[in-house]
Every structure is written in C-alpha cells, then in structure tokens.
C-alpha cells in the first residue's frame, strides 16, 4: 500500500475510533450532546427556592425544549444539586410511579419517547474500581420511535397506560410498547359532516389533565374552531379563544383562555397555565380564576401538596402577538414555587440564558437524585463512564 493512502486510512481509523465515546452521546443518540453550551446550565436562585425543595423532599424534572435539555434539581445532604441530560426537543413528562419509570417525549420527527429509570446499584467489576453509589441518577433504559405527524406534546398515564397529545392530528393517542399508536379521543369540534379532521393541526390540542379514564380527564387547546388560520400562523388569533375540553362530553367546559397549557387535576379541581397572560389559575364554577401572575409565558405545572411548581418561558420573537397579557421583553426562563392558597411566589430558579420550558414534574428525592450529568462542577467524564458501565436498574439477579 502506498504511504499516502496508508496515512489517510490510519487517520480515518483514528477519527472513527474516537467517535461516540462519551455516555452523553450514546444516551441521547446524538453526537453533539457531549458539547453542551455551559451558558445553558447557568442559574440564579431567588427567595426560598432551595428551602422549599428541601422541605418537600422532591426532585424536580424540567424539560427545556428548544435548548434540547432536561434538567433535574433537588437538595441532597451535600446541598443543592442540579444535573442534566441532552435530548432532541424534549417536551412532555410523565411519571409511572407504579413501575418506577420516567417517560419523556422527544418531538423532533420522528417522535420518540425515552424511558428512564433510577440506578439501583453498581455492579462489582474486576477491570475498574467502582465507588459506592451515593445517589440514584436516572438513566435511559429504552427509546421508542413513533414516526409520522404526531407532534407529541404532553404525556400522561390514564388508566395506567401512556397517552400523548397528537397535536398534529387534533387527537389524543394511546402509545404502545411496539412503536404503534391508536387515536382514542378527540373533541367534537374537529368533526365535519360527522368525520373527524386528523390531517392538520387546527386547534393546538396540547395538554392532558389526566383522570382515571379518558371520560374523567380534561384537555386544553388554543381554540375550538377549525379555520384557515391555524396555530403557528403569525395571524392566528389567540386572545381569549383558548378552551378546556371535557373528556366525557368532548365539549368545552372552560372558555376565555389565551394559549392555555399544562392542564392538571389537583385535589379534584382543574388547574391551568394561561400562557398568554403569564397566569397560573384554577377552574371555578364561574370559569377560570387566576391565582398567580408570573414573569413569563407560563407552561409546565406540577403540585406537591400546597405548592405548585410552574415554569415560565421567554416568548419567541415572531410570536409576540401570542402573549397579549405579557411584558414580552422582561419575560424570564425559570421555575417558580407558588403557594396555591395565597398565590405568593416562595422562590424561583432562573436560567439567564434559557429560553423555553415545557414540562415540570416532581418525584420523591429518595426515588432519584436527578440525571447522570452534573451541573456546577467540572464534568467528571471518568465518573460518568463508570456509572453507565456498572449501573444496574434491576432489583436482583436472576437464577
């Protein structure tokens, strides 16, 4: 072989041999995941943020969709702890508490659902020294592809089965383990001459307040009318046109909202983020009642007893008209702890270089300390490699 060709082959071999070596790349199936912009991980705490998390003993999981980033935060014996994992455009989060699985929707096409579980122990190895496991980070154990025009947003367990908003089809779908899905619910307003219109996003059907069944669940949307102007169009009218649908009747039970997101059932009442006005509120017999006004596009909501954890986002510049009730220029990307009785903001965590938050969910701190990659210290690649090399999510070995 000629020396020039041999040198080229050797250089190619060296480059290919070095590719796909970092756990962050493999875990997210994305080569650039190893090169996270450090500015995305900067944060500022305000008020009694850490004290509130510590008092509730929870770990918060937060998806930041346009930064392709999932963040976890909590308080351990060593103090505040933040961790992360890269993922293409993460949106909805759902916690299967019975099985101990965290589901995360990844909505770039083809859509995916990642399943994560906490590391329960480290397996003893003869080839590397394994340190004792002091926490239980979540690691991916499976990813399912759902090709097609689903455009998944929220995820929710209804009757113990994973469901998603198929925003691109104006419907709710039941997701199967084999990568197939079935449309199982849609609002009556998308039916024309008795036939549902699934061919295009017309109403931005984007969140699920999950009950025990579809009939006892509720779903939010930006409108209940089909028109040539659709969500995503700059001239799509949004102010006071948002609704919440009843799963039982398939008709609106609440009107007058503006780009609502993150509908949730809590203590028998429907809560909602009225995004275009930066509000968190609850549905009363007379309609929507704001409880708190926050500094940004409200999206992402979960509850821990009397505390609501609410996400806020900046507004995408070309969609300023979608937020008629906000000071767009002063909006922030962050998560806020709100007392549901008084509406008082107890504390906040702000990401100064963040942009969009989609979902916020909480799990007990004893279930998991967060995600595999740490924030606030120099990345310990050797530790990460050992974690993925020796981790186990099994409760015990088989025979």
- pLDDT for 391: 83
Q: Which residue has the higher pLDDT, 334 or 376?
A: 334
List pLDDT tens digits, range 199-211: 999 999 999 999 9
Following CA atoms 120, 124, 125, 129 in sequence, which dihedral angle do they give, to the nearest 10 degrees? 90
Mean of pLDDT values over 367-382 = 78
**Residue 322's pLDDT is what?**
93
Please tell me the predicted confidence (pLDDT) of residue 19.
Answer: 83
Contact (Cβ atoms closer than 8 angstroms) between residue 297 and residue 311? no
Structure tokens at 374: 């740490």
CATH architecture of residue range(s) 87-119+138-354: 6 Propeller (2.120)
- Residue-wise pLDDT for 126-144, tens only, equals 888 877 777 889 999 999 9
Beta bridge partners, 58, equal 364
SS3 250: coil
% of the chain exceeding 70 in pLDDT: 97
Distance between alpha carbon 73 and the CA centroid of its chain, in Å? 14
Which residue has better confidence, 307 or 34?
Answer: 307
Give yes or no for a contact between 187 and 246, defined as CB atoms under 8 angstroms apart.
no
The pLDDT tens digits for 139-171 are: 999 999 998 899 999 999 999 999 999 999 999
- The band of 375, judged by pLDDT with boundaries at 50, 70 and 90, is confident
pLDDT at 382 over 80: no
Is the CB of residue 335 less than 8 Å from the CB of residue 310? yes
Q: Taking the model in full, what pTM does it have?
A: 0.94
Run of H or E including 289? strand 287-293
3-class secondary-structure state, position 244: strand
Output the 3-class SS for 167-198: HHHCEEEEECCCCCEEEEECCHHHEECCEECC
Looking at residue 377, what is its pLDDT? 56
Model pLDDT, residue 26: 79
Mean pLDDT (the chain) is: 92
Domain ranges of the chain: 87-119+138-354
Q: What is the pLDDT of residues 71-83, one digit of tens each?
A: 999 998 889 999 9
């Amino acid at each position: 072989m000629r020396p020039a060709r041999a040198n080229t082959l050797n250089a190619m071999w060296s480059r290919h041999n070095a590719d796909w070596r970092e756990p962050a790349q493999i875990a997210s199936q994305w080569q650039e995941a190893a090169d996270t912009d450090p500015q995305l991980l900067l944060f500022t705490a305000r008020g009694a943020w850490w004290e509130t998390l510590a008092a509730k003993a929870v770990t918060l999981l937060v998806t930041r969709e346009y930064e392709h980033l999932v963040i976890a935060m909590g308080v351990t014996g060593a103090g505040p702890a933040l961790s992360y994992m890269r993922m293409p455009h993460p949106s909805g989060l759902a916690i299967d508490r019975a099985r101990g699985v965290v589901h995360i929707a990844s909505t770039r096409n083809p859509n995916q659902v990642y399943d994560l579980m906490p590391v329960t122990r480290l397996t003893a190895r003869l080839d590397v020294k394994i340190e004792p496991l002091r926490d239980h980070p979540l690691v991916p154990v499976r990813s399912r592809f759902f090709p097609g025009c689903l455009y998944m947003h929220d995820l929710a367990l209804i009757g113990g089965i994973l469901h998603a908003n198929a925003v691109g089809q104006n419907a709710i779908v039941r997701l199967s383990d084999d990568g197939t899905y079935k449309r199982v619910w849609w609002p009556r307003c998308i039916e024309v001459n008795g036939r549902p219109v699934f061919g295009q996003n017309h109403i931005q059907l984007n969140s699920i307040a999950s009950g025990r069944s579809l009939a006892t669940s509720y779903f939010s949307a930006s409108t209940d009318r089909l028109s040539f102007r659709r969500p995503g169009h700059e001239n799509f009218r949004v102010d006071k046109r948002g609704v919440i649908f009843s799963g039982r009747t398939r008709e609106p039970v609440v009107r007058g909202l503006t780009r609502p997101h993150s509908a949730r059932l809590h203590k028998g009442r429907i809560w909602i983020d009225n995004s275009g006005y930066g509000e968190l509120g609850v549905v009363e017999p007379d309609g929507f009642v704001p409880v708190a006004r926050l500094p940004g596009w409200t999206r992402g909501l979960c509850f821990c007893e009397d505390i609501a954890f609410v996400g806020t986002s900046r507004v995408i510049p070309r969609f300023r008209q979608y937020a008629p009730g906000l000071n767009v220029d002063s909006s922030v990307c962050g998560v806020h702890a709100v007392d549901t009785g008084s509406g008082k903001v107890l504390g906040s965590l702000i990401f100064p270089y963040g942009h969009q938050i989609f979902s916020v969910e909480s799990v007990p701190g004893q279930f998991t300390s967060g995600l595999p990659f740490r924030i606030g210290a120099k990345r310990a690649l050797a530790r990460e490699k050992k974690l993925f090399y020796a981790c186990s999510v099994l409760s015990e070995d088989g025979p």
